[in-house]
A and B are shown apart, each in its own frame.
Chain A
Amino acid sequence: MSRITRRTFVQGAAAGGAALGTLAATAATAEKPASEAPEGYSADQREHYFVESPGSDFMVDVLQRLSIDYLAINPGSTFRGLHESVVSHGENARPQILTCLHEEQAVALAHGYAKAAGKPMAVACHGTVGLQHAAMAVYNAWCDFVPIIIIAGNHADGAHRPGSVAWAHSAQDPVAIVRDFTKWDAAPVSLEDFAESLVRGYRIALTPPMGPTVLVADADLQESPIGKQPPIPNLTVPRPPQGDSNAIRETARLLLAAQSPVIVADRHARTQVGVDSLVELAEVLQIPVIDEAGRMNFPSSHYLNHSFAPGNPLRNADLILALEVNDVWGLLNRIPEVADRRAEFVGAANVKVVTIGTQDLFYKSNYQNFQRYLPSELAIAGDSEATLPSLIEAVRKELKSSHKSQIGRRRQAALDAFAKGRSKALDDARYGWDESPVSMPRLSMELWRQIKDRDWSLVSRADFQSSWPRKLWDFDKHYQYLGGSGGAGIGYGAPAAVGAALAFRKRGVLPINIQSDGDLLYGPTALWTAAHHNVPLLSIMHNNGGYHQEVMHLQRMASRRRRGIQSTAKIGNTFDSPPIDFAAMAKSMGVWSSGPIVHPQELGAAITRALEVVGAGEPALIDVVCQPR
């Protein structure tokens, strides 16, 4: 161990770092004097028993420099050094440890947090086993283009592995299992390399198309003394790429020439600017917008929102502008769920498609989440939120008085279509209003009447509820809907809701989680994490007693094969016998709960009480026995 005190080498490194355009000192390291040798120990004994200034302290400094607020973990010995440094050296302040009871939950929690906070958190995974547990949630984040900083512990040096379990928990290349669905990874062998790699990994994760990155934190590197304090490079995150200016002008001309253009937005809006600029573009040309809801892209009460307008506006479109759309092929094609599965083109013969998105900038080959290929008139590789202002400017520049009559006609047609869509939604919502099990429109409206005057966010996906909240609620802020899991891997919902609620806690936003029962059963202990960390979150169970999608699949298979349709579709797909007491489950983990509620008349009072609990800063759960969808 060097005799240089922490204070002296931090000062020296800071001077050197400034010359190199890097930063080395941190508040944590600069203000703490090195501890003296413990009394009664020789130098050799001290070196035998103790380590001062372990490398993991420096790792915490790098995390602090990146303003990473949280480190979600399920503990493990391959990152015990880092764990202790966060708790002691960093005083569990920044980052703060989030105790998760499964690595998949830790990553999913970080996934929901990143979308709500607009910044990533870090997740530490324990060697081979931790990363394997985490893999499903990493895949969801990859498919959803969400940044997460994953730190994987590992014992690289076989000669230092403390026992047989450490061998089982170590790998030559621990990231291999998630490399196909992460943007970048590194296994640094020095602290200087660790700092550069973590800053680089953060930068890559935040550069659109965003995604998770992985950094291996070697156990020896964590547990050995820092030695000479390495510099920490400054972080510079690249600005999101705008589309090519010539292509933008061409898109403007195509939009102006089109008779029936439609805009489709999916993972378009990262901020309110993305929503507002889409509204501006749509209004300038009076173009209907279909919100595919990968994020909240367009206000639900705007008359140009035709997400639920009658018919399919895309069928008659002569131009489709697709903004960060996951499945462009699926906009104009479908493969019916019948035995022969013939693809059908459902668009107009003269339709042209223009895409703007960052997905074209980064592909990997193994996992097929890139969707089917669709030829397009123009494909603009660029971030749609960053590109729209240029497109609006180009449209305004090209807009002539001769365009106005057509634009005016589109406005009236759009108003009529929106009114029909809304009227239909309200009419449909009446059916089953007083029934038991509770209908989705009733559940949605019982919630809405009590949250609509608050600052709220629906932190769960809405398609399991037949999108009723999106049909009936007034979404107008970008954070009011966060989209789904990305990879449709079940087990995302509960922990992601906790992560989003954590991000909203300081901002006073009320998080609403309509929680699918099957999803919760993958990782119910996310509720404990919410209770442990005092995360206010209102969860309403959508308790339909099974994996309902799979019930329908089995029924389809049985009828296609002409056999066994009478109640057989439930076999292997439902968990309603015996019924699971979700309220008791939540209560057992320290979460206030109510239910099961089977009659809709009882729901309003339960929501009122639960909102009081959430208002006091705690999570609450109401179990509601519901219609299937």
Chain B
Amino acid sequence: MLVAALLVAAASSAKEEQRDPRPFVAYGCYQCHGYSGYGGSSGPRLSGDMPYEGFERIVRFPYGTMPAYPRELLSDEELRAIYSFIQSRPPPPLLKDLPMLNVEAQGTPR
């Protein structure tokens, strides 16, 4: 419940209009791909650049360990809502703007 509230709050406060994340969460996409589809140990980061046809192909006929989601489980309309959310996410900050990552991560490679 707390997470859902956080996600909706984040979506409504984003500078660019971000679509409703709730279908992404309700249909379980977040489980492997994270609440915003940025990836986790079980699922890769989801790209917003992929054409819908390619996205749908992967969801209906996935490879690897991802479960298949036929239309009877996830309608075209619902899938398009999920796709819209993925596309609407704001871009991540640039590496140069994140000193914690571009300066402090790891030591000097040996």
Bitwise interface map of A from 402 to 424 toward B, beta carbon under 8 Å scored 1, else 0: 00000000000000001100100
B100, A430: Cβ atoms closer than 8 Å = no
Chain A residues near B104 (CB-CB < 8 A): 445, 448-449, 452
Q: Is the CB–CB distance between A598 and B31 below 8 Å?
A: no
**Which residues of A are in contact with B by a Cβ distance under 8 Å?**
299-303, 336-338, 418-419, 422, 425-437, 439-441, 445-446, 448-449, 452, 463-464, 466-467, 472-474, 476, 545, 548, 551-552, 555-556, 559-560, 562-563, 565-567, 569, 576-577, 579, 596, 598, 625, 627-629
Chain A's interface: helix, strand, loop or mixed, by majority?
loop
A301-B107, A302-B109, A629-B40 known; A576 vs B26 contact (CB < 8 Å): no
Which residues in B have some Cβ–Cβ distance to A below 8 Å? 1-3, 6, 9-10, 26-28, 30-32, 34-36, 38-42, 45, 64-65, 67-70, 72-74, 92-95, 98, 100-102, 104-110
Chain B nearest Cβ from A393, distance in angstroms: 23
Contacts of A299 in B (CB 8 A): 110
B34 with A337: CB separation less than 8 A = no
CB proximity of A171 to chain B, nearest CB, Å: 42
Given contacts A472-B106, A555-B67, A579-B1, contact A629 B72 (CB under 8 A): no
Task: Please tell me if the beta carbons of B38 and A431 are within 8 angstroms of each other in the complex.
Answer: yes
The CA of A431 and the CA of B2, in the complex, are separated in Å by 21
Residue in B closest to A473 when the chains form the complex, CB atoms: B106
> Contact: B28 with A555, CB < 8 Å?
yes
**Separation in Å of the A213 CB from the closest CB of chain B?**
35
A559 & B31 in contact (Cβ 8 Å cutoff):
no
A548 touching B31 by the CB < 8 A rule? yes
CB <8 Å contact, A431 and B92: yes
The smallest beta-carbon distance between B75 and chain A, in angstroms, is 11
The docked-state distance in angstroms from the alpha carbon of A425 to that of B101 is 10
Check if A422 sits within 8 Å of B6, measured CB to CB: no
A422–B109 touching, CB < 8 Å:
yes
Bound-complex Cα distance A427 to B65 (A): 24
Q: Which one, A300, A436, A576, A628, contacts B31 given CB within 8 A? A: A628
Q: Residue on A with the closest CB to B67?
A: A559
**A598–B6 CB distance below 8 A:** yes
Known contacts: A466-B40, A559-B73, A579-B1. The answer to whether A433 contacts B6 by CB under 8 A is: no
Do A560 and B67 form a contact, CB below 8 Å, given A432-B38, A569-B31? yes
If A430-B92, A579-B2 touch, whether A303 touches B72 (CB-CB below 8 Å) is no
Q: Are A628 and B73 in contact (CB under 8 A)?
A: no
15 interchain pairs (CB within 8 A)?
A300-B106, A301-B110, A430-B98, A432-B34, A434-B93, A435-B10, A551-B31, A552-B32, A555-B28, A566-B28, A579-B2, A598-B2, A627-B34, A627-B40, A628-B30
Q: Which residues of A contact B70 (CB under 8 A)?
A: 562
- The residue that B38 contacts in the complex, of A336, A439, A577, with Cβ under 8 A, is A439
15 new A-B contacts, CB < 8 A, other than A445-B100, A577-B1, are A428-B38, A431-B45, A439-B38, A445-B105, A448-B105, A464-B41, A466-B39, A565-B69, A566-B28, A569-B31, A576-B2, A596-B2, A628-B34, A628-B35, A628-B40
Contacts of B69 in A (CB 8 A): 559, 565
A388 to chain B, nearest CB (A): 19
Nearest chain B CB to A563 CB, angstrom units: 8
Cβ-defined partner of B74 (8 Å) among A300, A452, A563, A565? A565
Determine if A429 and B31 form an interchain contact, defined as CB atoms under 8 angstroms apart. no
Contact A567 B31 (CB under 8 A): no
How far does the alpha carbon of A435 sit from the alpha carbon of B21 in the complex, in Å?
A: 13
Specify which chain B residues have a CB less than 8 angstroms from the CB of A559 in the assembled complex. Answer: 67-69, 73
Q: Is the CB of A467 within 8 A of B41?
A: yes
In the complex, the answer to whether A433 meets B105 with C-beta atoms within 8 Å is: no
Return chain B residues, CB-CB under 8 Å to A449: 100, 104
When distances are taken between beta carbons in the complex, the residues of chain A under 8 Å from B93 are 430, 433-434
